[in-house]
Structure 1
Amino acid sequence: MSGIVPAKPPRTMPFVLSGDAHEDADCPPCRLRSLFDSISRGQPRTARSRDDCTNRSDSRDDRCTRPGAPGCGCQQNLPHDTRLDLPSARPEPRAGFELPVRRSSRRGRRPVTRPSRGHTATPPRAKPACPKAGNPRTSSPAIMNAPLSTLFLHGGPGLSSIAERDLYGHTLPIHWWDQPRSVVLFARPFGALVEAAEDEIRMLADTTGGPIDLLAHSFGAHLALRLIARVPAHVGKLWLLAPVYDIGDAFVRLATRLLTLSPASEPLLAALAEFKATSDYARFARLAVQVTSFANLFELYWGAGANTRRRWYLDLLARQNLVDPSAFEVIVRDFWADPVPPLDPVAGAQKVQLVFGREDPLVDLDAERHTWMQLFPHAQYVELDTGHFVHLEAPASRWWKSI
């Protein structure tokens, strides 16, 4: 690796934060950077109107719309770009190419408000399955028509379940739920997200007539902890895939990994040293700005043997709205202020499996195992030869075993 190198004006890619090269209020990466920068300087965040805070999963309003730019068009004329010296798997954009509109798979989905009680769930409509990234599908009518007895809680926050639906379709009886990004409209976004998750598990429980298993990835493990505390009767088995307990520590590990590849990055070195000295949110915001300024950040999340899946994911990232940087900033800020649950055994979850990837750059295996085994002393523990996206690299039979 040759570290950070000055590059030609970059190809247009989503979620590329390229230092201080440009600022554009309509560009999601610029918006994330400006939000973090304002917090790190002690300034209030710029107020957003409801029109600016729609559910990003159902809208294209959160990306730049300049001609000929797929995704973030304002980066076409950047004077430089901060990149990792890693091979890029993203395709060159076609002239006039636009990202497709991703529409909700459920009609009449009500907006995120304070969850109501006693309503009836409507199961999601079936979509035709198609093989992706070397993943042949063998959906049977029994699986397609099986009740969705497992709720998926994706990571991020601010990510989505687009990749999971694209890869698995309806081959597994899992509700690949997109956490509503419109929670950024609430005074307590993380609290609103927990309530939305509670609402979702109640709907599934009403449909199936029994408890719902939880499949939580990364930051989604914190939603799982809140659901177990709030609605223990509705929670069945629990799978935690690459769970991250301390998001600050995860960014420290990411920054450390980046510095092994780009040791001359002085801003990243300074932000990391500041956060290690005092781990408050303002310093975390500055560290997050530097970590996310690397264009090829998501390439680090994969194991060494997952090149095919890595290319598939990065291609999907280039075409669809997998991540909302604004939702990440707003939810993490509120989560930071939320009291951390004590590391005492969690009552209400008797069957738990912990699954980690040995090549996960966000996780220290010994530390995370110790933390989560304190919460779930009787949990089964599994390590796989994967990176952070355990469930996208390994087949389901490896990470979704009977417990």
Structure 2
Amino acid sequence: MIPYGRQDITQDDIDSVINVLTSDFLTQGPVVPLFEQSVAKHVGAKHALAVNSATSALHIACLALGLDKGDWLWTSPVTFVASANCGLYCGANVDFVDIDPCTYNLCPKALEVKLEQAEQEGRLPKVVVAVHLCGQPCEMQPIHDLSQRYGFRIIEDASHAIGGKYQGEYIGNGRYSDITVFSFHPVKIITTAEGGMALTNDEKLARHMDLLRSHGVTRDPALMTREADGPWYYQQVDLGFNYRMTELQGALGLSQLSRLDDYVARRNALAECYDVALAKLPVITPSQHPDSYSGRHLYVIRLKCDEIRLTHRQVFEALREQGIGVNLHYIPVHTQPYYEQLGFCEGDFPEAERYYAEAISLPLYPAMNEGQQEQVVSVLQAILEQV
């Protein structure tokens, strides 16, 4: 089976982890801060906070921005559920903005229309989570312009997008957002096995997230309510969580980071090959906005279902039966049973639902070779040409 994605682990990665295993620190040592500093420097951010998952990063990002009961968080319906759930964790209400039919990201025009209506109704969002689906950045400048007009804060859910660029600058630099979140899950662009990171240029937000990821406990005298009893002393000054990243994970991530640009370049080269090879098939290949350089976490095609004999499901199952480990990213969040109980239903976000009815994620990962890619194309072509 050719998987839709997989990690690339080298001997350098293994040696880095072994070095930590034989050191004095397995957690809360020097490697995680070095990983944080290295990522921040690479993308051009001032602060980076490593955590145990991107979901945790989204959660503490929302809390640091003051999202609370009665507030609204808006995001894209085409994303993993974590992009919306982080709002519910804070007691906030969640709503969605339909996608751009070309990029599949949150549509700035749809956002503007929804904001105009929300302003009249008195329910403007406090936070908008802009999801960089497949690694392609959202149109952040117009979203940021809207934030200045309507007063909401911005989280970039860049779980798919580390190493990508927007307007020639690395995603994560914070030019058009308050906080950016990366994921280091095994199938993502670089991995720490499990893990995530929140980046910001705001020192106050960074301090708050630092507290929240470690029980709300501090040893910093400047944050304490009274003088320390002794060198052992600490205080819990907020209600936090155990969201820390381990030294083992930090070592793996630091090693992987050295190959980040090469990984993204390889993913883009493979995507360009797909674009050419699939050009004459009844599929829509991914559109790239001119302001973006995608991290290319995923290569999603959309079937031209009116031009083929088989259904979407039949094509998907036929590919898997022939050893092509395709997947589908994602089922629109508003159609999930939990969100239906909150009042959402099919028909609420038509572009997202049309996308879901046609999308298939083809295999794409740095270690994929030309023969494997040719096999994917050949099998797909044979399936689509069935009469």
Q: TM-score, normalised by structure 1?
A: 0.25
Higher strand share goes to which structure?
A: 2
Q: TM-score, normalised by structure 2?
A: 0.26
